[in-house]
Amino acid sequence: AQSVTQPDIHITVSEGASLELRCNYSYGATPYLFWYVQSPGQGLQLLLKYFSGDTLVQGIKGFEAEFKRSQSSFNLRKPSVHWSDAAEYFCAVDDYSSASKIIFGSGTRLSIRP
């Protein structure tokens, strides 16, 4: 069965520091990949997505992610975090083999140290 693993439950970084959130997927073919963010009191918002083509994708709010087929990874990065980036981040894969059903990882909570 397809699955998404986010090995880090909680990460704390200092404001201005770089960030990398890890995501690994298990899927037979190249899936559609997503990163969503949930800020406190809000719904999930799409940060970026990978369908095909360039393996480095740019998203909103200065985030980027790189698809590495050999490592089955789709890690999220940001060169310099802001206090407003404190939120929970979810990696997801589109199980398009069964009518576009997105499968989510368990999430990584990001805290920002002033």
Partner 1 sequence: EAGVTQFPSHSVIEKGQTVTLRCDPISGHDNLYWYRRVMGKEIKFLLHFVKESKQDESGMPNNRFLAERTGGTYSTLKVQPAELEDSGVYFCASSPSGTGELFFGEGSRLTVL
Phi-psi map region of 79: left, alpha, beta (phi>0 left; psi -120 to 50 alpha): alpha
Candidate residues 23, 27, 63, 107; the one interacting with partner 1 per rule CB under 8 A: 107
> Strands 108-113, 10-14: parallel, antiparallel or unpaired by DSSP?
parallel
| Near partner 1 in 49-78, by CB under 8 A | 49, 51
Does position 46 interact with partner 1 (CB under 8 A)? The reply is: yes
Max distance between CA atoms of the chain, in angstroms, equals 44
Q: Are 81 and 18 in contact (CB under 8 A)?
A: yes
Does position 96 interact with partner 1 (CB under 8 A)? The reply is: yes
Instruction: In angstroms, give the least distance from the CB of 103 to partner 1.
Output: 7
* Chain residues that interact with partner 1, rule: CB under 8 A: 4, 32, 34, 36, 41-46, 49, 51, 90, 94, 96, 98-107
